Structure 1
Amino acid sequence: MSTLRLVQGVSPVFFLACLLVSTAAHGQVSTASVNGTVRDSTGAVVPGANVLLRGVETGVERPTITNEVGNYLFLNIQPGAYTLEASMPGFRTHKLQPFTLVVNQTATLDLSLQIGEINQEVQVEAVGAEVQSSTAELGAAVTRQQVTDLPLNGRNFTQLLALTPGVAPVSVSQNSGGFGATTTAGAAFVFPAINGQNNRSNFFMLDGVNNQGAFTSTYAVPPVIDGIQEFKVQSHNDQAEVGGALGGIINVVTKSGTNEFHGTAWEFLRNDVLDARSTFVSSKSPFRQNQFGATLGGPVMLPKYNGRNRTFFFIGYQGFTFRRGGEALFRVPTDANLAGDFSDESRQLYNPFTTRPDPDNPGKFIRDPFPNNQIPASLIDPGMVLFAQKTLPKPVSTGVAGRNAIDTTPFAQDQHEGTVRIDHTLGAKDSLWFRYSRLNLDQGASSGRPQIGSTREDRAKNWGISYLRAFNPKTLLQVQYGRVHVRIDEFTRFRDIPSDFDKQIGFADTFSRNFQFTGGILFPAINVANFFGGGEANTLQPNMANIHQVKANVSRMAGNHTFRWGGELNSNNFESFYNNANVGFSTPQTSNPSLPTGTGSELASFLLNLPDSAGRRNVHETMRWGGIMGLYFHDQWRVTPRLTVNLGFRYDRTFQPPYGAAGSEGENGGIETGAYDLQRGVYLVQKVPPPCAVRKRAPCIPTPDGALPEHVLAEPRGKIYHDSTDNWQPRVGFAYRLKDKTALRASFGMFFDNWAGVTQTAQNYEGGWPDVAQQLDNNINNKLSQSVLPNKTGTNPFPEGLFPAPTPFNQVLWYMDPNAKNPYSMQWNFGVQHQVGQDTVVTANYVGSGSRRLQIGGYYNVALTPGPGDPRQRSPFPYIAPTFYDRSWGRSNYHAFQFLLDRKFGKGLAYMVSYTWSKSIDIASSGWYGVEGHSSQDPYNFNQDRSVSGFDVPHMLSINWLYQIPVGPGKRFSPGNRVLTNIVGNWQVNGIVVLRSGRTFNLSVPGDIANTGNTGYMRPDYIGKNWGDWQLDNPTRQRWFDTSLFPAPAAFTFGTLGRHVLRADGYKNLDVSIFRQFPVWEKRRLEFRAEMFNVFNNVVYGTPVGDIGSADFGKVFGTENRARQVQLALKIIF
């Protein structure tokens, strides 16, 4: 049997059997480990020495014995403070004073025994921070003090991810604001790109338990800030336990109880009185925000049971209420516009019904202009006028050019989150913990403008249980189970329209009615670019994330080797209902075909009822079983006391789930669907339904005998997408301690992405032919790629109705190559780490990676070359319409210098200075599915789109600090007067400074000037003599750059401007928190906080409008940051 066939035969049953016979290790979990060697005063190793690790706050003890070469090992240690001692008859006991372990730390602590009595102790002071001399992984731990004391807007921990080198807080993802995950309104949510990998390539864990929000790649349940012990961002790991993601592994550890009862209670308050006004509004909107909650932890005390040193609990709750008046600006037509008078429009409008070939320029087209920009009443669609009159507000003065309407509808959100954790030590060899976390969120808001309202309800939970067994000092087993579930229901409705309003406008029943699960009617979204948008929709996701996780890890110490092996299996299925319809209007339908730049109007296209795009979804997305498996073996070899080598191997596999639940035959969006294979020019049907003459409705085969049309094949496996079976990943690294305080480290590893957009693949072909549950057309009424004259209206964009077309070859949907492979990355680093003093470590690294098989999206099967005539005749398969089609052909490279100065908290001071100088380059593959990576101009020549990634940030500097002012009792300076001490003592100042380069942005050209049948791909020409000519000496919001240097390309050509070659302004920000603590009684303290975000109220303008066909081209309508915000808080600590 070949290796490939053997791998393909790996099944979940086989994997579970492996777990039962294997044992496991400290791996991709949120714990720490301690290792070292015990020697005598001559340097000889001491076998059989007793080594004891004791928790300072819990009293829990972990004993072990050194092996035949004097080595000891403690794995799966909860982060916290510990003491360590070694003893042996004939020697004095060596006791290391309290030291702190952080998440995912591997601490190497060698101990020396001196001749003497065992009851004699040698006390050794521990260091506050030490170099990492056992692994070469990248990352930095964010401590409990940093989590709770640094200023966090909305108390969302993701803001702290950017404190780590290599973390770029710039997102090109569809879910940049946390889509698919429950996010706190108003919070500064960060969805970063880590070490050159795209935003969706990260993996979130909570206490080592999978906490992924399914394919959105954000967290499922956010932890309560005061319930976080600490967290760490890991990447470029030389440990084989780590896998499944190319970017960062974000490990969050929750607090455990201790031998003493400890807790906090808090109230955080924000309102508009304390905040500054945004530069784009004339007044501040009413705003109220409250965050409140409490935590309590300690020993479990029951009648006749004292849990000290054995059983502990921790509970936490946080509530959140948010109310903000709306301030969304948009644009509406005037009464004159609705009557056809566009004399206020600077752009010339053209009559699309006069489109004809240009006799002087073969292959080109001409149109007649509307005289004086007056559209005849006979051409205006009365339904569009009625829609505007009934659902749009009248124009008002907003003080912002190009915006004459404002939505002041308040946004409301209520959120409740909680966590419960139990830790129990069964004995010297056994321990376990259990944690349950949950979040409920309810919100209401407008959806684009005041007349449309939306409600959303989120329910998320994450729980896990972990058991640890030490069979003997050499062998350790950990078994863990985790569960993640997220449900999101969202409804959008017009507030006050009659039930037959769609009929009054003129929408066809097949477009606005006949929806499943909704009562049948949904008013379509009418989206007029740069003006207004919005409509009715239902998004019900009963299983947005539905994950079961089983993990088993084993370690075995043998001489100077520590062997670790084990694996995990995650189920990964989702279920969603999507019901919506939309129609879009843009400029090409009323522009000059020969010179589209600066001509045409989106609003005029709307009044003529001539859209350029439309879509309809009426699906119930389901999947059969799918999952992600990982197996690994690792050897940590302590070659010499100074050199540690890590060697490992990992295998991952994603079992791609077939789309559609068993038994969903006959349902819209069910199992009877299909997808393209554009490498062969065929269409694959997953399950063939009966003929339409038999079933009488879709999905069905539209031939009398049910025979499949030419180039349509039945997929014999009943599954469209193939699994990737080649995810073999070697890992190698070394750490060499040059001196006691200096270490050299390097590693290389292969990593495959098994989550990210990989888990979204099965969603991409729901509702396709022979179904009609999903319909899409992005090239409607395009004079160059379809008929010369307009042939479809916005009220009936799919005249074929609710039966499938004779063939699938004219449908446009989101597809992926059925043979696409999951991405992988080759990652390496080399660096030096040096300890400065007791508490500070300096790290400098070179970090590099080469990633392959990245997703490239956008349209495919477009014309091979630009030119006149029907572009389909110049495409590889002329019988197939161009469509969205993702391929795993992308690649990227990343190189960086990263610097970290990290001082752990001691003597009232902690700080972290992080700097990254980097460049990330890819070929139109900065994210997933085209919309995240900017689709390619020429999908047959990706190298033309090679440029910096959309998330590329060349320079990033982050500085954060915690500083207790040394005035007061027990501090360096004490006034000696109780009254004066209460005034000037017990103050603390904390802050975060961020300086970074501006983000990239693109310019686009509407329409299909190259006439390839593509959409959303065109870039303009650049005609400046020098590259920097586009930058103005004194840019304004109304003219951010010299727009005259970016004309539309000539007909049948691509634009010469590169991808991602323009950058916005650099980002700068300072957040500060000031604390004052008031001792109340013994260990109880009252703390007052004032937190200020963007202290100096710096304005960092966002990216300008990049559509050269828009009247707002080159204008800025937003900021990259927020105006100054102030938060006050009271906190009780005991």
Structure 2
Amino acid sequence: MRSKLILVAILLTATALLAQTFRGTVLGTVTDVTGAWVAGATVKVKNVNTGLERTTQTSGDGSYAVSELPIGTYTVTITQTGFQTAVTSSVEVNVGSEKRVDATLKPGQVSQRVEVSGAELPQVDTTSAELGGTLTTETIASLPVNGRDYTKLIYLNPGIAGSPDQISDSPGSYGEFSMNGSRGRSNNFLLDGTDMNDGYRNDPAINEAGVFGDPATILPIDAVAELRVLSNYEAEYGRNSGAVVNIVTKSGTNTWHGSALEYFRSGKLGARNYFNFVPDRKSPFNNNQFGGSFGGPIVKDKTFFYVDYEGQRENGAQAGTTCVPDPAVIAATEASIVAGGGIVNSVTTALLARNPWPSPNIAGASSDATGCATSNLSTSTRFFNRVDSLIAKIDHNFSASNMLTGRYYFGDSNQSFPFAQLSGGLLPGFNTITPTRVQLVSLSWVKVVNPTQLNEARLGWNRFAENFSPEDLSFLPSSIGLDTGVGAYDGGLPAISVGGFSQIGATTSVPRNRVDSNWHFVDNYSWKSGKHDVKFGYEFRRTTILHVIDHNFRGTLDFDDLTTFLEGIPSGGNQVTGNSRRHTFQNSHGLFVQDSFRWTPRLTLNLGVRWDYFGVTGEKNSLLWTFDPANGGDNVPTGQLYAKDYNNFAPRVAFNYDVTGKGRTVVRAGWGLFYDAFSQDIFLGHLPWNCVFCPGPAYPGLGPQALATGSVTGAALAQGQPVYTGYGPEGDFFSVDPNMRTPYVQNFNLNLQQQVASKVVVQIGYVGSKGTKLFQFYDINQPSHAAITAADLANGVSGYGVPRPYSNLFYINQEKSSANSIYHSLQASLRAKGWHGLSTQANFVWSHSIDTASDLEDFLPNQAQPQDSTNPAGDRGNSSFDIRRRFTWNFSYQFPKWSGAWSRLKNGWGFDGVLNLQDGQPWQLNYEFEGEYSGAGEGFDRPDLIGTPQYSRNPAQYINLTAFAAPCTWASLGDPADSSETNCVAGTRHFGSLRRNSLRGPSFKDFDFSFFKDTALSERMKLTLRAEFFNLFNHPNFANPSMPNFIADIGSPDYTTGRHSGYYQITASGDVGIGNPFLGGGGPRGVQFAAKITF
């Protein structure tokens, strides 16, 4: 009764933490030889490396628990008068885990000792129903990891699948992955228990990509003591519905220890890319990663330090071919203009003086004023990646009951990459430059109140600063008379397209920059009372983002051909101007209480509830604007974007049953409700068009104008005269549903764990999830099908002219919490540690994930917005990250020691490896520029499915297009040269019957392997030499057909039949598909050598 009253009191008065602990717990039950509980026994738990010792006593039921122990190796000593002393050595305490150390005391003297090894303890989890896995420092250090990117280790856990725009063995560009049906941005990253999230994207701040797929900063992988990935977790974890990635960094010990390392990789040692058809041509590439660590005692048993530095120097070139005008052709065209009485424009002449087009270098290729028959320029555009990362940590024990930990991380980088290639620019001099700086600071204080009560507080701050600029930022177009109206911040040439030739200028998406800052405070209180282990707590987060995205502020200029370019007469072009600077903030709070109740020695119940409040996003200068349909489209109100949601209560319940009572066979099950925090790119990421923080277009009654678009007049460019005029409002709106709620996911599982040998455990079970109120967006101004049909029958007007509900506006894309998902899976795993020299882990998942939207952004067509916004349920289909079967296997093996002659040479050999096998990811075909078949004006329509798609292993003929047709009744009504939607019979337009994500991409097969040799240099120092092979068998892994262009454009149908013909081709390997052509997954075989000294 007393314990029940205590629990009720805690539920009513909880005012402490959300305890994403980065430590562990030792617990157990002490009995005598008759099985009776031994109360009042003294339990001492001592860290063998730091000397930290904690003491407690067993309760009346013989149980004990020592929580918030730094991860490491411990000795557990249990004494009681009249009994022999029980000692368990080599007890490994892992991050966020509970290590059960039970003891049976034998009658005798305390001076008599009975010793056992922790290796003999049960290896199954008898206390919780959480899912996931833990990678220890030994595993992390031994496995071949491409680019030494810790996020790739996440894929070695069960239930993980890649996001749709990533490849399969690494989260790729933004650290995104799906766990058990969750979305790619529904994960929570913690470093030593404090926030490591980028609040803009909900991605990890460290190892997030810069301008291409490589991480802009890196967490030194040798500084990682443990990496734990959890799902279906207890109430102490919140913020997101997917996985919790909890990383613990190393600490100093009483022994001086350190390392020095060098990893080297060269493109000359690897294989050529599958799509590189010139056998002797390899893209130049070098990657050096180097660094070292050092740690030890400042004051023995009291104060310790650890510091780790890692640098990366990567450089290479992106090869390609394109068309540029030959100088002779330019001269001839100028002469022709003058001969015809025309004038060669002085602005474009000044531009040519900067030599934006290199001279052709491919023999035999020719060009004229309209372009090239074949490419005449072979390019090799250089890129680089410079990264410096440092982490420092201090642990101080004021006493065994009062401990303080401080940690600082600093990462700095600069990257350059030819990002303009995505829009057709292959010329040197127009790279995107991306300097990035990430800093994280944390303090953790543990206070042991008494042997059964403990308080822990943590304070963290992280800052993510990133800037994207064109390589020619310092060049002002006005210096050559090209008056685009930009200042120094938006310097650089416009994106200039000349028909038939390669684009001049950097990508229009730069410049942009953002600075994210996050404060994170947690405080928790743990209380053991009899059979109850109670924990309750509080969390606070504040996220601020200073964001500028001057998309297309430099402008675009289009010329039909070389002649019009030299005359300076553009056929089109536009520019955005205004103020895109926004400073947003969000404050969030969380409360939880949980109880691990050991009902019987064999049955443990995990009960808990948490409450989260994710504050409404605000803007420092009150620039909050959104279209409100309730006002009939008459105004854009200022103020709160959506209603506050105080109803985020998340109960969690689970049980763990030890079937035999021997700790070798366990049945576990759990169910919980999990809420997802808002990421601020929901609102900021739509600049400059669908932007919730941009006051609306200057339509009558719709408020002031923040961003406007100007266009060229069609007249010739003139020295010092404005290029763009007639600035007017943007045509699109972004809106937030005022009733938008917090998304939530139910996670549930039932599994069996079985220890089949002393160091081997298998697990099999069912894992599922159900998502509700997930983010997506609709166009609430899409014309109805009846309106489309009526307009089409009347005059054939396409969706761009069909009357819409709000007739003075076009798109009104509204962010809503209306999508849903369901996930079912069978998951099996095997793990063994130190079994005859082998440590291994294997995971198999057979699953199916279904949803109506897979993300909150449409990076891929129809990923966030349905094809038909009036029928969002029609987009129910495979999730973009749905992978039906996935198998991973990682292993490390060291050969037994040999004695006798040459033992120094014969000993220390071993090998490691990682195998990834998986089915392909979903994709779909869309129309991009070929026509507006549905008549709705939404873009990216899907075709009709009229046959059976047939897949080929040949990437040039991946899928037959004869299975698809234009979504209308076809009548060949127009110009035979035009097979667009103008050939549709009036009134027959409709949305295509091809279901969202119903097609399958190629499978993925990759085997990374390494072998190594350890050589002792002294008693405490060794040298390790390694050779690592990524994709050892050079198996070609192809990108999803929608990559790297983020759309699988089906092209135009046949004019006569309206059906498509031929095949859809895959044009990129997996690494190129994710924008990381050298260190990304799915590339050709790569070879890396390493040397490392440790002491």
TM-score normalised to structure 2 length: 0.82
Q: For residue 45 of structure 1, report the CA deviation from its aligned partner.
A: 1.7
Change (3 A) 1:331 1:121: farther
Asked if structure 2 preserves the Cα contact closer than 8 Å seen for 1:317 and 1:417, the reply is yes
Q: Who is 1:289 aligned against? A: 287
Q: Output one character per residue of 1:567-600: Cα deviation in whole Å (capped at 9) or x when no partner.
A: 110111100222231799999x99xxxxxxxxxx
Q: For residue 526 of structure 1, report the CA deviation from its aligned partner.
A: 5.4
2:1026 aligned to which of 1076, 1085, 1089: 1089
Asked if structure 2 preserves the Cα contact closer than 8 Å seen for 1:202 and 1:756, the reply is no
Q: Who is 1:705 aligned against? A: none
Q: Who is 1:951 aligned against? A: 881
2: distance between equivalents of 1:35 and 1:340? 86
Q: Who is 2:196 aligned against? A: 211
Q: Who is 1:228 aligned against? A: 224
2:657 aligned to which of 722, 736, 754: 736
Q: For residue 520 of structure 1, report the CA deviation from its aligned partner.
A: 7.1
Asked if structure 2 preserves the Cα contact closer than 8 Å seen for 1:502 and 1:523, the reply is no
Q: Output one character per residue of 1:596-621: Cα deviation in whole Å (capped at 9) or x when no partner.
A: xxxxxxx99x999667x967364343
Matched, 1:434 2:406: yes
Q: For residue 94 of structure 1, report the CA deviation from its aligned partner.
A: 1.2
Q: For residue 657 of structure 1, report the CA deviation from its aligned partner.
A: 2.7
Asked if structure 1 preserves the Cα contact closer than 8 Å seen for 2:682 and 2:856, the reply is no
- The aligned runs of 1:310-459 (5 Å cut-off) are 310-328=302-320, 391-392=356-357, 406-448=378-420, 449=426, 450-459=428-437
Q: For residue 68 of structure 1, report the CA deviation from its aligned partner.
A: 2.8
Matched, 1:878 2:797: no
Which sits farther off after the overlay, 983-992 or 100-109? 100-109
Change (3 A) 1:541 1:61: farther
Secondary structure of residue in 2 paired with 1:675? coil
Q: For residue 396 of structure 1, report the CA deviation from its aligned partner.
A: 6.6
Q: Who is 1:897 aligned against? A: 826
Q: For residue 72 of structure 1, report the CA deviation from its aligned partner.
A: 1.0
Q: Who is 1:991 aligned against? A: 913
Q: Output one character per residue of 1:317-372: Cα deviation in whole Å (capped at 9) or x when no partner.
A: 1111111122255666899999999xxxxxxxxxxxxxxxxxxxxxxxxxxxxxxx
Which sits farther off after the overlay, 1044-1053 or 550-559? 1044-1053
Q: Output one character per residue of 1:624-683: Cα deviation in whole Å (capped at 9) or x when no partner.
A: 542221111111111000100011111111112322x24xxxxxxxx445221246543x
Change (3 A) 1:26 1:520: closer
Asked if structure 2 preserves the Cα contact closer than 8 Å seen for 1:25 and 1:476, the reply is no
- The aligned runs of 1:109-188 (5 Å cut-off) are 109-126=101-118, 127=120, 130-172=123-165
- The aligned runs of 1:831-850 (5 Å cut-off) are 831-850=751-770
2:445 aligned to which of 467, 484, 503: 467
Matched, 1:279 2:239: no
Asked if structure 1 preserves the Cα contact closer than 8 Å seen for 2:201 and 2:681, the reply is no
2: distance between equivalents of 1:67 and 1:535? 69
1:1128 aligned to which of 1077, 1089, 1093: 1089
Q: For residue 21 of structure 1, report the CA deviation from its aligned partner.
A: 8.8
Q: Who is 2:700 aligned against? A: none
Q: For residue 503 of structure 1, report the CA deviation from its aligned partner.
A: 5.9
Asked if structure 1 preserves the Cα contact closer than 8 Å seen for 2:490 and 2:554, the reply is no
Q: How many residues align?
A: 978
Change (3 A) 1:386 1:1017: farther
Amino acid of the structure 2 residue aligned with 1:439: G
Change (3 A) 1:52 1:879: same
Q: Who is 2:923 aligned against? A: 1001
Amino acid of the structure 2 residue aligned with 1:208: G
Q: For residue 206 of structure 1, report the CA deviation from its aligned partner.
A: 0.4
Secondary structure of residue in 2 paired with 1:943? helix
Change (3 A) 1:137 1:986: same
Amino acid of the structure 2 residue aligned with 1:231: L
1: distance between equivalents of 2:474 and 2:856? 39
Asked if structure 2 preserves the Cα contact closer than 8 Å seen for 1:431 and 1:468, the reply is yes
Secondary structure of residue in 2 paired with 1:581? coil
2: distance between equivalents of 1:166 and 1:874? 47
Q: Output one character per residue of 1:352-408: Cα deviation in whole Å (capped at 9) or x when no partner.
A: xxxxxxxxxxxxxxxxxxxxxxxx999x99999998996445677699999765541
2: distance between equivalents of 1:569 and 1:562? 24
Amino acid of the structure 2 residue aligned with 1:1003: L
Change (3 A) 1:536 1:189: closer
Secondary structure of residue in 2 paired with 1:983? helix
Secondary structure of residue in 2 paired with 1:409? strand
Q: Who is 1:912 aligned against? A: 841
Asked if structure 1 preserves the Cα contact closer than 8 Å seen for 2:1036 and 2:1084, the reply is yes
Structure 2 unpaired stretches of 5+? 1-9, 207-217, 334-339, 366-371, 421-425, 697-702, 969-983, 1043-1047, 1054-1061, 1071-1081
Secondary structure of residue in 1 paired with 2:874? helix
Change (3 A) 1:878 1:797: farther
Matched, 1:194 2:179: yes
2: distance between equivalents of 1:617 and 1:111? 73
Matched, 1:244 2:164: no
2: distance between equivalents of 1:440 and 1:920? 38
RMSD: 4.1
Matched, 1:725 2:650: no
Amino acid of the structure 2 residue aligned with 1:167: I
Q: For residue 623 of structure 1, report the CA deviation from its aligned partner.
A: 3.1
Q: For residue 62 of structure 1, report the CA deviation from its aligned partner.
A: 1.0
Asked if structure 2 preserves the Cα contact closer than 8 Å seen for 1:776 and 1:813, the reply is no
Q: Who is 1:961 aligned against? A: 891
Amino acid of the structure 2 residue aligned with 1:626: Q
2:693 aligned to which of 749, 762, 766: 766
Amino acid of the structure 1 residue aligned with 2:641: I
2: distance between equivalents of 1:501 and 1:1018? 44
Secondary structure of residue in 1 paired with 2:477? coil
2: distance between equivalents of 1:153 and 1:250? 20
Q: Who is 1:1116 aligned against? A: 1066
Matched, 1:570 2:570: no
Q: For residue 540 of structure 1, report the CA deviation from its aligned partner.
A: 7.2
Change (3 A) 1:531 1:851: farther
2: distance between equivalents of 1:849 and 1:130? 27
Amino acid of the structure 2 residue aligned with 1:652: D
Q: Who is 2:990 aligned against? A: 1053
Amino acid of the structure 2 residue aligned with 1:547: N
Asked if structure 2 preserves the Cα contact closer than 8 Å seen for 1:623 and 1:657, the reply is no
Q: Output one character per residue of 1:5-52: Cα deviation in whole Å (capped at 9) or x when no partner.
A: xxxxxxxxxxxxx99996757931222112222222222222221111
Matched, 1:626 2:586: yes
Asked if structure 1 preserves the Cα contact closer than 8 Å seen for 2:494 and 2:554, the reply is no
Structure 1 unpaired stretches of 5+? 1-17, 179-186, 301-306, 342-375, 591-602, 663-670, 683-710, 782-789
Asked if structure 1 preserves the Cα contact closer than 8 Å seen for 2:777 and 2:816, the reply is yes
Q: Who is 1:784 aligned against? A: none
Amino acid of the structure 2 residue aligned with 1:1073: S
Q: Output one character per residue of 1:737-793: Cα deviation in whole Å (capped at 9) or x when no partner.
A: 10220110111100010144577569742333245444579xx99xxxxxxxx99x9
2: distance between equivalents of 1:165 and 1:473? 37
Secondary structure of residue in 2 paired with 1:895? strand
Q: Output one character per residue of 1:189-247: Cα deviation in whole Å (capped at 9) or x when no partner.
A: 8531111111111111100010012222222234211111011111111x110111111
Change (3 A) 1:799 1:575: same
Secondary structure of residue in 1 paired with 2:417? strand
Matched, 1:857 2:835: no
Q: Who is 1:357 aligned against? A: none
Q: Who is 2:676 aligned against? A: 753
TM-score normalised to structure 1 length: 0.79
Matched, 1:1066 2:1059: no
Secondary structure of residue in 2 paired with 1:140? strand
Asked if structure 1 preserves the Cα contact closer than 8 Å seen for 2:775 and 2:817, the reply is yes
Amino acid of the structure 1 residue aligned with 2:535: R
Secondary structure of residue in 1 paired with 2:153? helix
Asked if structure 2 preserves the Cα contact closer than 8 Å seen for 1:918 and 1:954, the reply is yes
2: distance between equivalents of 1:175 and 1:858? 30
Matched, 1:86 2:78: yes
- The aligned runs of 1:527-538 (5 Å cut-off) are 532=503, 535=506
